[in-house]
Amino acid sequence: MIYAIISDIHGNLEALETVIADAEKRKAERIICLGDIVGYGANPKECIEKVKSFHDVVCAGNHDHAATNQTDTSYFNLYARKAVTWTSAQLTRQDMSYIRSFPYVFEEEDFTAVHANLIKPEQWGYIFDDFDAVPNFVAMKKNLCFIGHSHVPLAFEKGEDIRPYYNLREMEIKEDHKYIFNVGSVGQPRDADPRASYCLLDTAAMTVEWRRLNYDIVSAQKKIIEAGLPYFLAERLQIGR
Ligand code: ZN
């Protein structure tokens, strides 16, 4: 089975359409979304419709919860808070109840999926380094766990010790090791590479591949500016920060 695992779309329709077209070309049979469909970008509704059209599984993200008043936003920076207010105003009651239906954690036969962290997923703790990864490894019931949230693609492998990997293209899964994979962000990458990011999991070949794709950044930026959202949210797309 080939899974496309996507996360952190953030209202960026241009990036989402590019990723879905690539996943279809690569014969992904299921598309699993790790949350944050909305927030920051100018097309929250269009992204919700697109995700609904392939709706398989969507885990809840902190920006999804913020836009539907399900989480505290006092820790959000000014740009994020402005985007939350703008995004909430775009959503219909139907959109809101769709978002409210997302579970925190999804368990598939071979892997677990969560937006941020398996330890109290509703607290959205980040996994930036091997230290952060330790409790998540302890909480994992499967050998593989897919996450998003930091917008930085990376992997942690646990054999005798825990090793982090950055800038990965592909990784072979060893049967007796455990892994945490961050799939990166579709709509707002933050690893200094502005291309959209997602992962393909091939459970027959036992590989994970990170795909990076150019998309129409200029159109996404134009819409952010025209919507009256903070200019910085448009600017950061082009530097991948
Ligand atoms: Zn996010």
pLDDT tens per residue, range 177-223:
999 999 999 999 999 999 999 999 999 999 999 999 999 999 999 99
Cβ(41)–Cβ(224) below 8 Å: yes
Distance CA 118, CA 113 (A): 9
Over range 220-237, report the average pLDDT: 97
CA 9–ligand 1 middle distance (angstroms): 7
CA 170–ligand 1 middle distance (angstroms): 23
CA 206–ligand 1 middle distance (angstroms): 27
Query: Mean of the per-residue pLDDT values for the chain?
Result: 96
Distance CA 51, CA 17 (A): 10
Over range 126-134, report the average pLDDT: 95
- Specify the pairing of strand 30-33 against strand 2-6: parallel
Is the whole-model pTM more than 0.95? yes
CA 182–ligand 1 middle distance (angstroms): 12
pLDDT of residue 75: 86
CA 116–ligand 1 middle distance (angstroms): 9
DSSP SS3 for 31:
strand
CA 176–ligand 1 middle distance (angstroms): 31
pLDDT of residue 167: 87
Cβ(5)–Cβ(201) below 8 Å: yes
pLDDT of residue 2: 97
Distance CA 32, CA 55 (A): 8
CA 24–ligand 1 middle distance (angstroms): 23
% of the chain exceeding 70 in pLDDT: 100
CA 151–ligand 1 middle distance (angstroms): 6
Detail the DSSP E strand segments found in 88-185: 105-107, 111-114, 144-147, 154-158, 162-166, 170-172, 178-182
CA 48–ligand 1 middle distance (angstroms): 15
CA 38–ligand 1 middle distance (angstroms): 8
Cβ(200)–Cβ(168) below 8 Å: no
CA 104–ligand 1 middle distance (angstroms): 14
Write out the residues surrounding ion ligand 1, Cβ under 5 A.
8, 36
Tokens for 119, please give them.
């330890």
CA 175–ligand 1 middle distance (angstroms): 30
Q: Does residue 71 register a pLDDT over 90? A: no
Nearest to 153 by CA among 30, 1, 16, 34: 34
Over range 55-67, report the average pLDDT: 92
CA 84–ligand 1 middle distance (angstroms): 12
CA 177–ligand 1 middle distance (angstroms): 28
Detail the DSSP E strand segments found in 64-191: 105-107, 111-114, 144-147, 154-158, 162-166, 170-172, 178-182
Question: Which residues, other chains included, contact 216 with Cβ-Cβ below 8 Å and sequence gap of 6+?
Answer: 14, 18
CA 172–ligand 1 middle distance (angstroms): 26
CA 57–ligand 1 middle distance (angstroms): 17
